Amino acid sequence: MCGQEYTQLQKHSRDTEIHLMEKKLWGGRFSDSLSEITEKLTVSVQYDSRLYRQDIRGSRAHASMLASIGVLSPDELSAILSGLDRVEREIEEGSFQFSAKLEDVHMNIESRLTQLIGDAGKKLHTARSRNDQITLDMRLYVRDECDEIAGLLCDLIGRLTAHASEQIDVMMPGYTHMQIAQPVRLSHHLLAHAWALSRDLTRIDAAYAAADICPLGAGALAGVNYPTDRDFVRRELGFDSITLNSMDSVSDRDYLLDFLYACAMIGLHLSRFCEELVLWSGFEFGFIRLGDNVTTGSSIMPQKKNPDIAELVRGKSGRLVGDLVTLLTVMKGLPLTYNRDLQEDKEPLFDAADTAEISLLGVTEMMKNITFKKERMEAAARRGYSTATDLADYLALKGVPFRSAHEIVGSIVAFCERENRDFFALGLDDLAKFSPVFDGDAVALLSPQGSTERKLSAGSTSRKEVLRQIAVLTEMIDARLKKEKC
């Protein structure tokens, strides 16, 4: 055979191989090929290919189960497992060519497996459907992402708790309506965000639990005609339980909505914190300095140092809310069981996971590179009549009805505004003009420094209560890390 003939034979062989690979695995009853627009609408491999690890993990468990009930011989099982190993290596090394003609990650992997090992690969899909296969993959994916996000939440909570411990005695103004309200400890303020994130951790745990139910074995919708051992697959994949209704198994996406809601709440909480970081880093507040490695400059104004990470995370929170609304809208009108609309569940899922993770990483990085300006914060706490409530409470404890005490102190504030007097420098003579109940000990109440220690209620901004919060959060994170190591 001459070189040209050999080259043509090779090309023919390659073309035949590609044709066979791209032949629809469901195409037995079809005579016409799909139109171009149908191909474009139905293909999902451009984004669901990222499920390859979960898909291969599920296929390994399924093949092992099929061998345990006699559907696969030991040799066939061995060939399938080694073939899946090779497919996974090819994908991770970048030599695997995903084909849009094969629509999705499942068919691409199965086609390549069959190409590698022959007829044994064609047996892998026995007793399962793409309907239960995809929800298995996505449940595995959600579990993996929940673990990742939980770790990032723990990192950020730990970082905030560490700052709270280091800044335990730094005072700052607390705000309502963005107006100075009462003095608080900076540590107390930071821990407020840590507690919100701890609830996000609870929601992520709940999303994990919702996903931790194995659907494989439900088939297309009605079950399968084989004596499969679903509990075998559950154990192989580490699921807590199996789904108990095959129709619900393939149509349920509640676990995705739980995950998307948890991510949306993470975005919301980070956005609120980032809004404060943007304000605090500005000249008008000047409460913090963000490091050069977490800020950017201006192309025209050389003096600028912009808190871009905080602004971007604040902006990305809208995407997380949108991802949740997208899937809620997809799901709201679907009849049982599987509908192709559910192909739209993957992009918001992947986007939410990616966005939540990079947002958490961004805020944690800012917390590693932040300086709190103690003097500026404490000076701000001495503005805006921040201890006026302390004066009103003083009068109430002396027997003055609180509403009357409120009015008296309001008159003192009005006097200071009218006469341009420093509220925090008032003496006993000044206070006595408004009520004879004021005694010498009332003057000390004007200072913000002691205000936090007069807060006696549980969960308050007093030093004792802040230390208790730090201890509870630290114990929670330590216990979680210890459990993960076990």
Name the DSSP letter for residue 180: E
The question of whether 269 is a catalytic residue gets the answer no
Q: Is the CB of residue 321 less than 8 Å from the CB of residue 264?
A: yes
Q: In 3-state terms, what secondary structure has residue 214?
A: strand
Strand 370-372 and strand 213-214: pairing?
unpaired
Joined together, the tokens standing for residue 339 give 């509908």
Could you tell me which residues come within 8 angstroms of residue 40 by beta carbon, excluding any fewer than 6 positions away?
none
331 — alpha (psi -120 to 50), left (phi > 0) or beta? Answer: alpha
Give residue 445's Cα distance to chain centre: 43
Could you tell me which residues come within 8 angstroms of residue 401 by beta carbon, excluding any fewer than 6 positions away?
none
The question of whether 189 is a catalytic residue gets the answer no
Cis peptide before 202 (omega within 30 of 0): no
Joined together, the tokens standing for residue 170 give 């730094």
Q: CA separation (Å) from 404 to 325, 365, 376, 387, 395?
A: 49, 49, 34, 17, 9
Placement of tokens 């676990």 in the chain: 255
Between CA 392 and CA 399, with CA 393 as vertex, the angle to 5 degrees is 95
d(CA 307, CA 291): 10
Q: What one-letter code names the amino acid at 275?
A: E
Q: Kind and range of the H or E element at 41? A: helix 36-42
Among the options 33, 82, 241, 298, which is catalytic?
298
Three-state SS letters, 227-284:
CCCHHHHHHHHCCCEECCCHHHHHHCCHHHHHHHHHHHHHHHHHHHHHHHHHHHHCCC
Among the options 35, 177, 299, 457, which is catalytic?
177
Task: Give the residue numbers marked as catalytic.
Answer: 177, 298
